[in-house]
Structure 1
Amino acid sequence: MPVNRNALIRYKTLDACLRNRQRKWTLDDLIETVSEALYEYEGIDKGISRRTIQADLQLMRSDKLGYFAPIVVLEKKYYTYEDPTYSITNIPLSDGDLLRMNEAVEVLKQFKGFSHFASLNEVVQKLEDHVYSTVRRSAPVIDFEKNEGLKGLHFLEELYQAVIQKRALQIQYQSFSARLPQVFTFHVWWLKEFKNRWFAAGVQKENQKQGILHLALDRMLAITPAPDADYIPNRHVDADLYYRDVIGVTVSENLRAMLVKLFVTRLHAPYVETKPLHHSQQVVERTAEGIVIQLRVQHNYELEKEILGFGDGMIVVAPERLRVAIRQRLQAGLKAYESESPQPDATAS
């Protein structure tokens, strides 16, 4: 049963009194002490009724709260615990609780790169030892999409800790277009995942003109602390608002979102309706051939890639510049297929 804040204060105060065997506690003593606690923590100055405290003691004795408190009355007036080591804060977890925790741990362990998720196994094991319970081990029944060969995942934990501890980092980084790696100081503000790729979002300098940078973890070669650099904190950027008008991670801070209309064939429509391309997606027209959807997003690389991924199942209706961009990409792809296919070297071993 749910417990409100005032009730929780009462139970904890009663528990502290009943554990204190240096004093004998009458019902009036308990009422007075609980009233003082409610005034101290909640500002309630009207006190507490005898009936409420009696009901609390009865609830603590029962199974309704899971306490089963061994409350006894000595000499027909003094309240205490029969077991001097008992406390409502020492209630062990049940086998069912541990089973649910194990299930949660198995799910979290799939997030490769976060060592603190994997270490939750040790916490659950300690709890099992404490309550002398062995939870049945079974294969996980939830399996997230993952790419075990993805580079850079081992940097996740260090980047995460840098955000939490507000530490600047020295990063050796080589983009796909760079001939040589760069080394620079970076201030990570948050971590972003998109399509199984992880990015560290942050800045190199205070008030830098290029705005927030996204460094792909698979392009990072090395990370070391930068103790001589003062960490530049994120004081004003809300990540949810920052990505509101984009698909993916490529954000143009000076570019306004545009209204995009897409025709989706009848075959592909169910997939697009059940898994929208963007939170702004709306169906604006239905025909026997398919649907027309609209979304308000920036024109970026990820948007084009999403559209191209549907092949002939999705056609850009508007705006014209996006329609032209997609047409050019499709024409380039067709041209590549019409040219003679590159043949592997037969002598290669």
Structure 2
Amino acid sequence: MPVNRNALIRYRTIDSCLQNRYKKWTLDDLIDACAEALYEYQGIDTGVSRRTIQADIEMMRSNKLGYEAPIIVVDKKYYTYADKSYSITNIPLNHQDMQVLTEVADLLKQFKGFNHFADLNEMVSKLEDKIYTQKTHSNPVIDFEKNDSLKGLEYIEVIRKAIVAKRTICITYQSFKARDASSFCFSPYLLKEYRNRWFVLGISHQRHKPLLNLALDRIQSITGHEDEYIENTNIDLSAYYNNVIGVTKSPNQRDCEVVFWVDKANAPYVITKPLHHTQKLLSADETGKIFSIRVILNFELERELLGFGAKLKILGPRALVSRVKEQLNKTLELYNPATFGPPVDLP
């Protein structure tokens, strides 16, 4: 049975509410949550009728969409799932879903091999693997990197739509360093993924900073706002992250040449998987190879280089060498028995 986008948003919203067992959900609560979701995702502000949500609940309880959701009413007032672990997102794909996925995969496969669509290759492989496992009821043959506990993914589509529509959003955000969350108007420009974490680049209306880079997993809520959208007029977003490893960067920060030596055993790994697209091989001898990359000096670069341990030595610039030596000295201090006591034998 075909499901329109608005109905799907309501089903997912009801499902998300009923999974949250820290709150008792009345029908009115579900109505309000669905109305907010429709406004957030679709810009619909006409509200949702009581009859619509009641029909949605009955549809979710039925087998028409394959959900058979165990929705019960407690104390004749509060809606919840009888099975605490249930979610409509956990049910197997039905025949219609499989057919749609197959059609999408077949369409995307037509673009394989085109340089402009190189990023689609992984997407197609994921789709084909999903279709294969569902049809054959077997284990996946491709294990992609993933983080099932990652927070903030629900905001990706909201932010993407705001960027496309050039619409201001209000974000409630709490960084790891802040004691309390703060709310501010924000004009988003670009979504960025790095190592399975998502970030949004944009400008805060209140703080008047050139640019802010916000981690989606630190966002607590996003709502629409009537403030005028501040357009980006002086930053080339397509090239903004070209000279950086990770996401930490200031608009006027300049890159520099980073030179490092890698021992003979690990140099092939750096050659086959360059640390950055600017990587060059400068020299080689029987002990190892010397490479260079041209990037911004930031925390992510340090972490990447430190990850090689004794297999890599930074040769320049001096500021980075000093910074890494400082980090290594602090690391050694952690293993000093006089500071933290002797090692503990674990069972």
For this structure pair, what is the TM-score category when the shorter chain's length is used for normalisation? 0.5 to 0.7
1:291 is matched with which residue? 289
1:221 is matched with which residue? 220
Alpha-carbon displacement from aligned partner over 1:17-42 (angstroms, at most 9, x marks no partner): xxxxxxxxxxxxxxxxxxxxxxxxxx
Question: What is the correspondence of 1:64-79 to structure 2 with a 5 Å cutoff?
Answer: none
Contact 1:259–1:297, Cα closer than 8 Å, also in 2: yes
**Which sections of structure 2, spanning at least 5 residues, go unmatched?**
1-98, 110-119
1:192 is matched with which residue? 192
1:153 is matched with which residue? 153
Residue aligned with 1:242, SS? coil
Give the CA deviation at 1:219: 0.7
Alpha-carbon displacement from aligned partner over 1:51-106 (angstroms, at most 9, x marks no partner): xxxxxxxxxxxxxxxxxxxxxxxxxxxxxxxxxxxxxxxxxxx9xx8494399799
Rounded Cα–Cα distance in structure 2 between residues aligned with 1:177 and 1:110: 39
Q: Letter of the aligned partner of 2:260 in structure 1?
A: L
Distance 1:342 1:240, change over 3 A: farther
Distance 1:223 1:343, change over 3 A: farther
Give the CA deviation at 1:255: 2.5
Alpha-carbon displacement from aligned partner over 1:219-242 (angstroms, at most 9, x marks no partner): 11111111x211222334222321
Rounded Cα–Cα distance in structure 2 between residues aligned with 1:262 and 1:194: 23
Give the CA deviation at 1:141: 3.8
Q: Which one of the candidate residues 285, 298, 301 is aligned to 2:299?
A: 301
Q: Letter of the aligned partner of 1:203 in structure 2?
A: I
Contact 2:198–2:216, Cα closer than 8 Å, also in 1: yes
1:169 is matched with which residue? 169
1:269 is matched with which residue? 267
Rounded Cα–Cα distance in structure 1 between residues aligned with 2:170 and 2:273: 39
1:210 is matched with which residue? 209
Residue aligned with 2:340, SS? coil
Distance 1:146 1:166, change over 3 A: same
Q: Letter of the aligned partner of 2:160 in structure 1?
A: Y
Rounded Cα–Cα distance in structure 2 between residues aligned with 1:342 and 1:174: 37
Question: What is the correspondence of 1:1-349 to structure 2 with a 5 Å cutoff?
Answer: 98=103, 100-101=105-106, 108=123, 140-205=140-205, 210-226=209-225, 228-338=226-336, 339-340=339-340
Give the CA deviation at 1:248: 1.0
Rounded Cα–Cα distance in structure 2 between residues aligned with 1:255 and 1:294: 19
Residue aligned with 1:271, SS? helix
Distance 1:99 1:182, change over 3 A: closer
Residue aligned with 2:258, SS? strand
Contact 1:107–1:142, Cα closer than 8 Å, also in 2: no
1:114 is matched with which residue? none
Residue aligned with 2:248, SS? coil
Residue aligned with 2:162, SS? helix
Rounded Cα–Cα distance in structure 2 between residues aligned with 1:230 and 1:279: 38
Contact 2:284–2:290, Cα closer than 8 Å, also in 1: yes
Contact 1:170–1:186, Cα closer than 8 Å, also in 2: yes
2:31 is matched with which residue? none
TM-score normalized by structure 1? Answer: 0.58
Give the CA deviation at 1:200: 0.7
The structure whose Rg is larger is 1
Q: Letter of the aligned partner of 1:327 in structure 2?
A: K
Distance 1:137 1:98, change over 3 A: farther
Contact 1:160–1:191, Cα closer than 8 Å, also in 2: yes
Give the CA deviation at 1:245: 1.6
TM-score normalized by structure 2? Answer: 0.59
Q: Letter of the aligned partner of 1:185 in structure 2?
A: C
**Which sections of structure 1, spanning at least 5 residues, go unmatched?**
1-93, 112-116, 125-134, 345-349
Rounded Cα–Cα distance in structure 2 between residues aligned with 1:239 and 1:232: 15
Aligned pairs, number: 229
Q: CA RMSD in A?
A: 3.4
